Amino acid sequence: MSTKVVCDIAVSADGYVAGPGQTADKPFGDGPVDQLTSWMFQTPEENEAELEAVTAAGAYVMGRNMFGPGRGEWDLDWKGWWGEEPPYHAPVFVLTHHARESLVMGGGTTFTFVTEGIHAALKQAKEAAGDRDVAIAGGAATINQYLREGLIDELRTHVAPVVLGAGERLFDGVPSQGMEIVSARPASLVTHITYRIKS
């Protein structure tokens, strides 16, 4: 079985995955952004299958903005938003323009910083994942880059009933392309819609 490239993303009804004004204190920006992920924390039993799928990948790719709020040279004291034991429990490849030594964290997560672009990061992630899936973890700019290149096989959107009005938008700059609905399931705080990207 070949490795699939998947992506799970919480998104507002108007297509935003984060609001404007992201900072270290407000990683999702301004506005009612807590509603994007409230289904994970307020109703986890109702969404158990989707939550398990989010953390089932054998390796992950994320953008620098998802790893931390900094730009330019690294603040080496910054080790991500998640504390000493991030939720990934697998290799994570972070896209960046600034080199940094790999960062080994608790629970099996190692952050490797990739300066050679999205294709190099995906290649390393596939090698690390073995026969498991690779997940493009975000944020929006990173997901959109992979969508533009046709590198995501399955897009799992978790649509929250909230309008943000501005911020980081999913599909921004992505050319028209067909998608096939694989599954759709409404829950009390979210609607889970999985698409297969047509090549």
Token pair belonging to 78: 């910054």
**Could you give the CA distance from residue 124 to residue 43 in angstroms, rounded to a whole number?**
35
In a domain, 199, yes or no: no
Compute and round to an integer the Cα radius of gyration of the chain.
16
pLDDT tens for residues 103-152?
999 999 999 999 999 999 999 999 999 999 999 999 999 999 999 999 99
**Could you give the CA distance from residue 49 to residue 70 in angstroms, rounded to a whole number?**
33
- Domain containing 112 equals 5-16+29-69+82-194
pLDDT at 110: 98
47: CATH: 3.40.430.10
In a domain, 75, yes or no: no
**Could you give the CA distance from residue 50 to residue 55 in angstroms, rounded to a whole number?**
9
Q: Which residues of the chain have pLDDT under 70?
A: 1, 199
By DSSP bridging, strand 59-63 and strand 134-138 are parallel
pLDDT at 1: 55
In a domain, 110, yes or no: yes
CB count within 10 Å of CB 16 equals: 26
Largest distance between two CA atoms of the chain: 43
pLDDT at 177: 87
pTM of the predicted structure, to 2 decimals? 0.94
In a domain, 146, yes or no: yes
In a domain, 21, yes or no: no
In a domain, 77, yes or no: no
Please write down the HEC assignment for all residues of the chain: CCCCEEEEEEEECCCEEECCCCCCCCCCCCCCCHHHHHHHHHCCCCCHHHHHHHCCCCEEEEEHHHHCCCCCCCCCCCCCCCCCCCCCCCEEEEECCCCCCCEECHHHCEEEEECCCHHHHHHHHHHHHCCCCEEEEECHHHHHHHHHCCCCCEEEEEEECCCCCCCEECCCCCCCCCEEEEEEEECCCCEEEEEEECC
CB count within 10 Å of CB 64 equals: 20
In a domain, 74, yes or no: no
- Domains held by the chain: number: 1
In a domain, 97, yes or no: yes
